[in-house]
Structure 1
Amino acid sequence: MAELLANVELCRLDGERTTGLRALENKVVALLFSAHWCAPCRGFTPILREFYKDLEDFDFEVVFVSCDKSEHELLAYMTDSHGNWLYVPFSSSQITLLSKRYDVDGIPMLIIVKPDGSIITRDGRSEVLSKSPISAFNSWKSQL
């Protein structure tokens, strides 16, 4: 994933700006396709936030790819429900490119990817809901 987003600017709610290469290198990466207007998304995101906190000492990163209709919605959703994970800026063309590349046909969708962008699982959401954070992480890490 570091290669796919190598030169793409990524942000955090705390104001940090970085590139994919710097932030994602050697990490298990979860792409979160979600939106504030989506009730199932608003239900899942706080669960993912706790999962993310449990893995803060591990090489795990979430990248939020917004399906919101405005930057205001994206930022409100992040403030309300998200962890301090990375997000693709609202105006970035990468949002459409990632949605097409990973054939996102519904949300919320959590796709776990390898450093080259190939898919480990398209069903990360179910794994977050059914496994302990360490168990899920170790399973994903073993497939890198």
Structure 2
Amino acid sequence: MHDTITLDKNSSFIYQATIHEPTIFSLSVPNIYNDRIIGDFIVYSFWVEPGKTILLKGNSGWLIKGLHGLASRSDRYELRNSVLDSLDKIYKKKWSEALDSRKKQKGSELNNDESLAVYDSITNTFIVSEPKNYYGLYLINKKLTTKIFEIQQVKKWISSYPESLTSTYLGKEIYSKISGNEMSQIGQVLPDFEQPDTASNFIKLSSFRGKYVFVDFWASWCGPCRAENPYLIKAYETFKSKGFEIVGVSLDKEKKSWLKAIHDDGLTWTQLSDLKGFNNEVAKRFLITSIPENYLLDPNGVIIAKGLRGEQLMATLEKLLTK
């Protein structure tokens, strides 16, 4: 949900919203000097619980005060800038301590992979040690937005959380992502979906049954995706007469940009998009968090390969369709 807030004559505002569970709010403030925008918007994020009031004061570094944290404690705490809440403070403190400890053991600075390993370890520990905490769900969901997770581990984590948390919007979203991950693995029948093509006609994936189908998630703004198109064109021209089809699913938001990329790259196969970007309903359903991504389906709709790049598609099709 997006909304615009207008300040009153005292440069203040009161904003009320109806929520049913802890929710992250982000306040975007224009970076203005002398009535001119001089940089990116400044964004302040904070958690709000149902029935609670958050007071924001526009001085002293944008001090944010609240009476209750996500653990529903009665002690007062303060939040500054991008620090989300008291639990996030604890989490970041543990992460910082673990990082310092690891640096001392190594005797030097950590590289990115080592830092990420420490971060991942602290995240996992927090998730396991706080099974009654909504923030644990938040961290689980964050992990599911990356490709670095073990689905069985995620299922184990979520199973330890009470129904009072897993029945929330975030809990249901996690279960939906788990389902999407499981049904888009090799050996599974990729569930049917329907989206509009470039002429706004709704096309079903199942309408291509009986053929080998390459489902390609891409976007006009994605350089690596566009770099794959010459390989796809070669494969399509070689095997389209032998029962091979490509279905492109774009994560574009602007139809004009989408159509231009199709034209400029010479893509002649079916192209679909709901123009919602990464909120594309199909991408969300199959937990597509980065592109390019793709699935190769057999004539029965079973996933037989995924993540093919460059000449890999041609090589795979030659084995399947060349006699």
TM-score, normalised relative to structure 2: 0.35
From 312, 315, 322, the counterpart of 1:130: 312
Q: Which has the higher contact order (CA 8 A, sep 6+)?
A: 1
How far has the Cα of 1:33 moved from its partner?
A: 0.6
Post-superposition offset of 1:110? 1.9
Would you say 1:53 and 2:255 are equivalent positions? no
Looking at structure 2, the residues matched to 18 and 96 of structure 1 have their Cα atoms a distance apart, in angstroms, of 14
Contact kept in structure 1, 2:190 and 2:303, CA below 8 Å: no
Contact 1:63 1:87 in 2 (8 A): yes
Which amino acid in structure 2 is aligned with residue 101 of structure 1? R
Count of residues in Structure 1 that have an aligned counterpart in Structure 2: 131
Alpha carbons 2:196, 2:274 under 8 Å: kept: no
C-alpha deviation, 1:26, in angstroms: 0.2
Q: Alignment partner for residue 215 of structure 2, among 20, 31, 40?
A: 31
Q: Which amino acid aligns with 1:30?
A: F
Question: Equivalences for 1:1-144 in 2 at 5 Å?
Answer: 4-5=192-193, 8=194, 11=197, 19-20=203-204, 23-91=207-275, 96-114=280-298, 117-125=301-309, 128-130=310-312, 133=314, 135-137=315-317, 139=319
Amino acid at match of 1:28: Y
**CA distance in 2: counterparts of 1:109 and 1:22, whole angstroms:** 19
- The structure with the larger Rg is 2
Q: Quick one: distance in 2 between partners of 1:68 and 1:82?
A: 17
Q: d(CA) in 2 for partners of 1:31 and 1:62? A: 6
Deviation at 1:88, TM superposition (A): 1.4
Shift of 1:87: 1.4
Distance 1:18 1:69, change over 3 A: closer
Q: CA deviation at 1:23?
A: 4.2
Provide structure 1 residue ranges, at least 5 long, that are not aligned to the other structure. none
Alignment partner of 1:100: what SS?
helix
Structure 2 stretches lacking a partner, 5+ long: 1-188
CA distance in 1, matches of 2:252, 2:222: 9
Residues 43-74 of structure 1, C-alpha deviations (whole Å, 9 max, x = no match)? 11122112111112111111111011211111
Letter in 1 for 2:192: L
Residues 15-34 of structure 1, C-alpha deviation per residue, up to 9 Å, x if partnerless?
6x574367402011111111
The one-letter code sitting in structure 2 at the alignment partner of 1:44 is E
**Maintained 8 Å contact 1:3/1:115:** no
- The answer to whether the Cα contact below 8 Å between 2:252 and 2:273 also exists between their aligned partners in 1 is no
Q: Deviation at 1:3?
A: 7.1
Q: Measure, in 2, the Cα distance between the counterparts of 1:22 and 1:106.
A: 24
